[in-house]
Amino acid sequence: MRPERIETKLRSAGQQDDKKIDLGETALLLAALDRPKVKITPYREHLQKIAEDVQNFIPVGATHNITRRAEALAKVIGNDMGYCGDTLTYNDPQNANFMRIIDRRKGLPVGLAIIYLSIAQKLKWDASGLNFPGHFLIRLGLGPSRIITDPFNKGAECTASDLRKLLQQMFGKEAKIQPNHYTPTSNRDTLIRLLNNIKLRAQESSDFKRAVDMIERMLIIAPKRFNLLYEAGVIYARMGNLKFSAKALKKYLTSNNQIINQDAAKTLLQKVCSKLN
């Protein structure tokens, strides 16, 4: 698929209501921007096969049992298909490319979560990512019932005790679970979190071109996330691309009345414009 066609499809997704975004398809299109010569169809068929296997694993009459749903996802995706977290090469960029996650059957928590969430979408189940600190989780819902699972750990169910231990492992024994840790993430936020992993690793290696490319991709699928314009302006200025920096900052400053970094953006824009003149 040509990059232009991929981008057109992504822009269309960016204009959709968040709940209508096809997570798996959009993640595949984002991955295809880096692998335009690779056919997407086999990946689509793979996700469809997983959905069929998950559905077939649940006994007739038990489709409305949330425990059975969680077990089916873990069994098919984690055990049968072998998807798990990459604990050995965690920072490998491949772990955030959805195609390569499928190829290698391993990746980052958010990348693996998109496998689970895309299958839930296909089956029309209630599922969302959770904005848990440092570790992306999934919450399945069915009426008043909720189950939290860990895609990095082959879809294992997480109890309240498990979540406390996970939080304390990352932030120390004094860390406590907060209500916002159970906040569901939107489809856009899930995709942005995936791209943000690539962006951060690019920045760490001083590959600012790659970092700003990820921000531009975020803006394609989330055109109203105006804070990304400021971030793009900062990175473009650091790269020495003053024209693009000024363009991003001007758009940011005229985007709405609730921008966070207004003073910093104005100061940077003045510096950039003074160098352009």
> Where does the pLDDT of residue 277 fall: very low under 50, low under 70, confident under 90, or very high at 90 and above?
confident
Q: What is the predicted pLDDT for the residue at 259?
A: 73
Least confident of 93-107, 126-140, 164-178: 164-178
Given this model, what pLDDT does residue 258 score?
Answer: 67
Q: What is the pLDDT of residues 16-36, one digit of tens each?
A: 999 999 999 999 999 999 999
**What is the share, in percent, of the chain residues with pLDDT greater than 70?**
99
| Element at 147 (helix H, strand E) | strand 145-150
For residue 176, the model assigns a pLDDT of 87
**Structure confidence by residue, pLDDT tens digits, 42-97:** 999 999 999 999 999 999 888 899 999 999 999 999 999 999 999 999 999 999 99
Mean pLDDT for the stretch of residues 190-213: 96
| Whether the predicted pLDDT of 178 surpasses 90 | no
Position 54 scores a pLDDT of 97
The stretches of the chain forming alpha helices (DSSP H) are 3-14, 23-32, 41-57, 66-73, 98-104, 109-122, 160-171, 187-204, 208-221, 227-239, 242-253, 262-276
Separation between Cα atoms, residue 272 and residue 55, nearest integer Å = 56
Q: How high is the pLDDT of residue 10?
A: 97
124: left (phi over 0), alpha (psi -120 to 50) or beta: left
Would you say 75 and 53 are in contact if contact means Cβ atoms under 8 Å apart? no
The percent of residues in the chain predicted with pLDDT above 90, rounded, is: 83
> Is the pLDDT confidence value at 257 over 70?
no
Contact 133, 176 (CB under 8 A): no
Mean pLDDT of the chain: 94
Choice among 14-28, 85-99, 160-174, 179-193 with the minimum mean pLDDT: 160-174
Determine the average pLDDT of the residues in 103-119: 97
The pLDDT value given to residue 66: 96
pLDDT in tens, 206-253: 999 999 999 999 999 999 999 999 999 999 999 999 999 999 999 999
Q: How confident is the model at residue 134 (pLDDT cuts 50, 70, 90)?
A: confident
Residues 6+ apart with CB under 8 A from 61: none
Give the residue-averaged pLDDT of 180-190.
93
